Chain A
Amino acid sequence: MTFQQLLILLRDLHPDIDFTAEEGLIDRKILTSFDVVSIVAELSETYDVELRAVDIVPENFNSAWALFALIERIENE
């Protein structure tokens, strides 16, 4: 999965957010818990990226970059 694809996925949820710059997606309550469920489902269904429960922590969802780093770690395992 590319960073560009992740950005498209996120923009689909919140078109008004600049996901390349925002670093407080969870802390500033931009992403809700239901957004997180949507993202996890979409990653699994469309990109075959299986997040584990322990990965679902605010640090991994606060920015698109952090989430992308997590996805890369999982894909390289």
Chain B
Amino acid sequence: MHMKSFLSYLNATADRLPDKPAFSDGDSGLTFAELRRAAANVGACLNNSGAAAEPVGVLMERGASEIAAFLGIMEAGCFYVPLDEQMPKERLDRIVRTFSPRFILADQKNLTAAEGLCPGAEHLVYSRAAAFPGPERLRDESPEDALAYVVFTSGSTGEPKGVSIRERSLLDYAATLPEALSFDESLVFGVQSPLYFDAWLKELLGVIVKGGTAYLLPRELFVNPVSLIQYINNHGINALCWVSSAFSLVSRLRTFYAVVPEHLKLMCFGGEVLPVKQLSAWQKACPDARIFQLYGATECTGMSVYHPVIGPQDPAKAVPVGKPFPGTKLYLLDDEGRIAREGEIVIGGKCVMAGYYRDPERTAAALIPDPADPEHGGLCYRTGDHGRLDENGDLIFVGRRDQQVKHMGHRVELGEIEAAALSLKGVHEAVCLYAADRQRIDLFYTGPAQPWDLVVGLKVKLPGYMTPSRTEQRAELPHLFNGKIDRRALEEKEYRR
């Protein structure tokens, strides 16, 4: 099925399965017909207010309505910029400053916060926009090069980067991922990720393209793993596309001694390495599930590379992340920029972002001409990840080339935390280390400020997942000859490797 617009998929599925639930948050939800209706109305309301081909901020509670808002913004020919109600004010301010929206869509609960955040913009209340009389069907054409969304990720200088994704990249994702992972209508997803990143697009495709159903799992269930699995069983959830750390959280808490997922048919993990011990705990608990490891980058519209995980895995070897989706290009570049069997992972194809929003400098540093066809191959994205190919030609993820880490499934630039710490009074030097085995960020600093001051100071500057697990004052930090802090020496001293 070849579609000209991403929203055509929703038209087709809503025609076929109008009364089937599309998204649900447990208590309330939207069927396919209701989702299409809400998106059409929101789109018409935005156009009626004068919005056209521009960013629209969304400040809403995570739920089915938020998804209708995103799709409605695309229906209006605009692109959505998700804002998280739990994000610290300072970070939200920076993001809003970068894309200076004329329109913000908010639910009643977040309206006052949205008005405070962006006083100059026009604020539309979702419930009213969704009741605006719109057309019966969503648009079946999309303007060339139109953007679909901009999501903000961590940037090493402290300034978040707005990854701008075109609708045609989303269309390409819709044509490849559901086929590669054999999604079908029978799948019932349990969405773990927040909606302000791109990780949940996998489930969006499973629902909109294939006619599956998705439950947005309440966040608090993840501190109650037995209830989480009971919820999954009670709602007939049979497909989980989670970050690796969420899977390992459940198995490490010995949940499976009490309860196991009864219906699981499909399990996709990615975002970071899943220890083989935890993987095999899931394999044992859910012997009938097909399992995939996925790899990708926000800059390449989510996932680009996949690998079916079959049978027991060797704990001494890394589980491959596999081969690219059809049509996606994957290269490894050595230090001289030559194509090699080991080096920096570079991804090309329709999935590659338009750029970082209003940031030509960082865009130019991240995107390079196709190494195999510089004239006609288009631009490719340098992931900053290091990889190698195994004997089967499968990609193996080796690690990061810089100070970026994956923490709780989120991309975190340690430099951004350091920059935030250095902006506080009484902090002379600051350095972050990541203890991957214990999944914690440790911050070391010099200066008269007390650790408590840093903890409190950083909480208002950084999202929760970026605040250090431990903050330690030191009389001095080790240095290299060039004056930079010697991370390796500090790591050896602090972790006694």
Contact A34 B408 (CB under 8 A): yes
Contact A53 B439 (CB under 8 A): no
Least Cβ–Cβ distance between B467 and chain A, in angstroms: 9
Least Cβ–Cβ distance between A14 and chain B, in angstroms: 7
Whether A37 sits at the interface, judged by CB under 8 Å, is: yes
Which B408-453 residues have C-beta < 8 A from chain A? 408, 438-440, 451-452
Whether A73 sits at the interface, judged by CB under 8 Å, is: no
Whether B280 sits at the interface, judged by CB under 8 Å, is: no
Contact A15 B451 (CB under 8 A): yes
Contact B223 A33 (CB under 8 A): yes
Chain A residues bordering chain B, tally (CB within 8 A): 23
Report A15-54 CB contacts with B as 1/0, cut-off 8 Å: 1100000000010000111101110110000000001111
Contact A37 B455 (CB under 8 A): no
Would A53 and B225 be within 8 Å (CB), given that A34-B249, A37-B249, A58-B220 are in contact? yes
With beta carbons under 8 angstroms apart, the residue of A13, A15, A53 that contacts B255 is A53
Contact A15 B258 (CB under 8 A): no
Which B233-266 residues have C-beta < 8 A from chain A? 245, 249, 252-259
Q: Complex formed: what's the CA distance from A13 to B380 in Å?
A: 40
Q: Complex formed: what's the CA distance from A57 to B224 in Å?
A: 5
Would A15 and B226 be within 8 Å (CB), given that A34-B439, A37-B439, A53-B254 are in contact? no
Q: Complex formed: what's the CA distance from A34 to B464 in Å?
A: 11
Q: Complex formed: what's the CA distance from A17 to B256 in Å?
A: 32
Q: Complex formed: what's the CA distance from A36 to B469 in Å?
A: 12
Contact B253 A38 (CB under 8 A): no
Contact B222 A33 (CB under 8 A): yes
With beta carbons under 8 angstroms apart, the residue of B223, B258, B452, B464 that contacts A53 is B258
Q: Complex formed: what's the CA distance from A37 to B253 in Å?
A: 7
B contacts with A: majority SS: helix
Chain A residues, CB < 8 A from B259: 53
Chain A residues, CB < 8 A from B464: 32
Whether B471 sits at the interface, judged by CB under 8 Å, is: yes
Q: Complex formed: what's the CA distance from A32 to B224 in Å?
A: 11
Contact A56 B223 (CB under 8 A): yes
With beta carbons under 8 angstroms apart, the residue of A14, A38, A53 that contacts B440 is A38
Least Cβ–Cβ distance between A22 and chain B, in angstroms: 15
Chain B residues, CB < 8 A from A56: 223-226, 253, 255
Contact A57 B226 (CB under 8 A): yes
Whether A12 sits at the interface, judged by CB under 8 Å, is: yes
Chain B residues, CB < 8 A from A26: 220, 223
Whether B97 sits at the interface, judged by CB under 8 Å, is: no
Contact B258 A54 (CB under 8 A): yes
18 extra interface residue pairs, beta carbon distance < 8 Å, beyond A38-B440, A53-B255, A56-B255? A15-B455, A16-B455, A16-B459, A32-B464, A33-B223, A38-B439, A51-B253, A51-B254, A52-B257, A53-B256, A53-B257, A53-B258, A54-B258, A56-B223, A56-B225, A56-B226, A56-B253, A58-B224
- The 29 sampled A-B contact pairs (Cβ below 8 Å) are A12-B470, A13-B470, A14-B455, A15-B452, A15-B471, A16-B456, A26-B223, A31-B223, A32-B408, A33-B222, A34-B408, A37-B253, A38-B439, A40-B252, A40-B253, A52-B257, A52-B258, A53-B226, A53-B254, A53-B256, A53-B259, A54-B226, A56-B223, A56-B226, A56-B253, A57-B224, A57-B227, A58-B220, A61-B223
Q: Which residues of A are at the interface with B, using a C-beta cutoff of 8 A?
A: 12-16, 26, 31-34, 36-38, 40-41, 51-54, 56-58, 61
Closest 10 A-B residue pairs measured CB to CB?
A: A33-B222, A53-B258, A16-B455, A53-B255, A33-B223, A53-B254, A54-B258, A53-B226, A36-B223, A37-B249
Q: Which residues of B are at the interface with A, using a C-beta cutoff of 8 A?
A: 220, 222-227, 245, 249, 252-259, 408, 438-440, 451-452, 455-456, 459, 464, 469-471
